[in-house]
Amino acid sequence: MSEAVTAFSESAADYERLLDAVARSIAQAVGDACVVALRSEDGQTVTPVAMFDADDAIVAKFAPILNVSVPTGDAKLVTAANKGSLFMPMVDLDQLEGHVHVNLLAFARSIGVHGLMVVPLRSRGAMLGAATVMRHSSARAYDEIDLELTEHLANHAALALGNAKLFREQQRIQEALHHSEMRRVAEAQAAEANRFVDAILENIPNMVFVKEAKELRFVRFNRAGEELLGIPRAQMMGKNDFDFFPTSEAEFFVQKDRETLDGKKLVDIAQEPIQTGQGQRWLHTKKVPVCDEHGTPQYLLGISEDITERLAFIGELTSARDRAEAANRELEAFSYSVAHDLRAPLRAIDGFAQALLEDYASALDANGQRHLDRIRNAAQRMAILIDALLDLSRVTRAELRREPVDLAKLARIALAMLERSDPERKVDIIVPGELPARGDPKLLSIVFDNLLGNAWKFTARAEHPRIEVGCKTDDGERVYFISDNGAGFDNAYRDKLFGVFQRLHKASDFPGTGIGLATVRRILERHGGRIWADGEVGKGATFYFTLSEAP
């Protein structure tokens, strides 16, 4: 018996095995068959949940009705046992008709039951069910001791069953608690993540909206969107574009939405007009499909940047550029007509003054002839000025080419031309064998023509004229220089050297247009370089320049 009790407590945690143990213990203690039946929680049904008999054939006979619930009203003996054990050592099965479920009665008849005890299984005052023991062998009939033993075992079994049930319930409660805690934590985390995403969405300075994919109704909307449209988001939720925008606009938006969702890819709308509370605005919008795990678009995410101001700015820039280009074309036309139209009358002035000198020389005295000479000189000088101005404007307009160029070669060509134009002059010339650089050969030759032309001109009165071309490295930068020992200039005026029509010498001393150095500076600036000069009156001048190293 103590073995049986131990078995109960050992299997307490395992409810199924415990029930089998109860049936077996009781059957083996008092014989022959034992059926354990439990009442449902609501008391509506009774179910035989375990059965034991030493004879396997009898166990097999019971199998069809094991675990088959019957209405409590059909199991009156079990109900009756609640008030106390039923003890029927000699039983007439016919008398049990109507008190026992038909299945059990048929089973009892089939094995020839002749004695019966029904003992309640009670735990903490609650009726769990009952154990029914049946005598079908020829062994002695049940006596009071059998009943006591059965009740004793049943009490222990009930206690174990009660504990097991409690344990199970406790476990269920614990699991439920655990689950609810987990859920609560998960929910809190999700809520926190949501708040984080919301805060980001809310503070993005562009309009952000989300529409559900089916009917394209708004489900999310951020603050920038509210401010742009001038519509509170509460009004937007659940509505679609046709509720807020002119039909043509709404149709365009929806068409782009569909394009995004059907194509399952980002659609970029560079420029779209939208009617807002502050009038028409222009948006740059990107629409993105948001898909579920099967790749089916569920939402449409849209991000719109208000580009109204930028477009206006671009428009202003474009019209300013158009105006500048028009002005440039006008300047070109002007330059062209200057070349043609201003030179023609000069030619007439010069030509007819010469004609007068030739044809009417006898009618003019020396003074009259000198006047005509001055007219011719003035006309020719004006022609030179016009040409110099045209060169300057051409330098500004010409396309800049960048290619390898040997500056020493350009210097030698310019000096050779000067020597040929003035073969009487003897000038010491120092030019290195090679001065490699990158730039526009045509424009850079104008630089050397001008700078060496100046050096040539301003050394006219020097005792031992000397012109040097060279290059040095200053702070890692290549600096080219052209120096002479001519008339020089006062450094106080060196900033004026490079302006148009700025001259530091009287034309009668050294002829010049006052445009050459302005042209030189413009060429070097177009190359990304600089020019500066250093001089001393009577000692000479040095012009330095750089070229940008850009390719």
Q: Amino acid letter at 129?
A: G
Binding region for other proteins (CB under 8 A) out of 213-221, 379-387, 529-537, 541-549? 379-387
- Site residue total, other proteins (CB under 8 A): 23
The secondary structure of 493-512 as a DSSP string is GGGGTTSTT--SS-TTTS--
Q: Does 344 bind other proteins (CB under 8 A)?
A: yes
User: Which of residues 383, 413, 417, 471 is near other proteins by CB under 8 A?
Assistant: 383
Tell me the two tokens of residue 297.
């678009």
Smaller CB separation from other proteins, 342 or 479: 342
Of the pair 217, 442, the CB lying nearest other proteins is at 442
Among the listed residues 300, 303, 298, 242, the one whose alpha carbon sits nearest the alpha carbon of residue 275: 242
Q: Using CB atoms within 10 A of its CB, is residue 504 exposed (0-12), middle (13-18) or buried (19+)?
A: buried
| From candidates 43, 73, 84, 345, binder to other proteins by CB under 8 A | 345
Question: Residues 104, 105, 106, 110: is their CA dihedral positive or negative?
Answer: positive
| CB-based contacts of 136, cutoff 8 Å, min separation 6 | 32, 33, 58, 111, 112, 113, 114
Q: Which two tokens stand for residue 97?
A: 């008709």
Using the rule CB under 8 A, which residue among 323, 347, 370, 374 binds other proteins?
A: 347
Of residues 498, 483, 499, the one with CA closest to residue 535: 483
**Which CB atom, from 343 or from 409, has the smaller least distance to other proteins?**
343
Give the binding range for other proteins (CB under 8 A) out of 62-70, 107-115, 372-380, 496-504.
Answer: 372-380
What is the closest distance, in whole angstroms, from the C-beta atom of residue 381 to other proteins in the complex?
10
**Interaction between residue 139 and other proteins (CB under 8 A):** no
Q: Is 364 in the site for other proteins (CB under 8 A)?
A: no
- Report the nearest approach of other proteins to the CB of residue 400 (Å): 15
Regarding 333 and contact with other proteins (CB under 8 A), the answer is no
Smallest distance, Å, CB 507 to other proteins?
18
Rounded to the nearest whole angstrom, what is the least distance from the CB of residue 326 to other proteins in the complex?
19
Among 151, 226, 306, 350, interactor with other proteins by CB under 8 A: 350
**DSSP symbol at 344:** H
For tokens 């940047």, the residue is 305
Q: Are 121 and 157 in contact (CB under 8 A)?
A: yes
Q: Are strands 428-430 and 466-474 parallel, antiparallel or unpaired?
A: parallel
Closer residue to other proteins (CB): 352 or 532: 352
339 binds other proteins (CB under 8 A): yes
Contact flags string 213-232 toward other proteins, x per CB under 8 A = --------------------
Q: Are strands 267-276 and 279-291 parallel, antiparallel or unpaired?
A: antiparallel
Among 334, 336, 360, 493, binds other proteins (CB under 8 A): 336
Smallest gap from residue 334 Cβ to other proteins (A): 13
Residue 486 or 516 with smaller CB distance to other proteins: 516
The C-alpha torsion from 168 through 170 and 171 to 172, rounded to 10°, is 90
Give Cα 158 to chain centroid, integer Å: 67
Separation of alpha carbons 344 and 338, rounded Å: 10
Three-state secondary-structure class, residue 133: strand
Q: For residue 455, what is the enclosing H or E element?
A: helix 441-458
Judged by CB under 8 A, does residue 376 bind other proteins? yes
Rule CB under 8 A: say whether 379 interacts with other proteins.
yes
Residue 340 within binding range of other proteins, rule CB under 8 A: yes
Asked if residues 52 and 36 have their Cβ atoms less than 8 Å apart, the reply is no
Q: Which stretch binds other proteins (CB under 8 A): 117-125, 205-213, 289-297, 351-359?
A: 351-359
User: Judged by CB, which is closer to other proteins: 304, or 450?
Assistant: 450
253: tokens are 């938006």
Q: Is 283 exposed, middle or buried (0-12, 13-18, 19+ CB in 10 A)?
A: buried
Residues 13, 185, 355, 361: which binds other proteins (CB under 8 A)?
Answer: 355
Task: Tell me whether residue 87 or residue 352 sits nearer to other proteins (CB atom).
Answer: 352
Q: Which stretch binds other proteins (CB under 8 A): 61-69, 96-104, 114-122, 336-344?
A: 336-344
Tell me which residues touch other proteins (CB under 8 A). Answer: 336, 339-341, 343-348, 350-355, 376, 379-380, 382-383, 387, 390
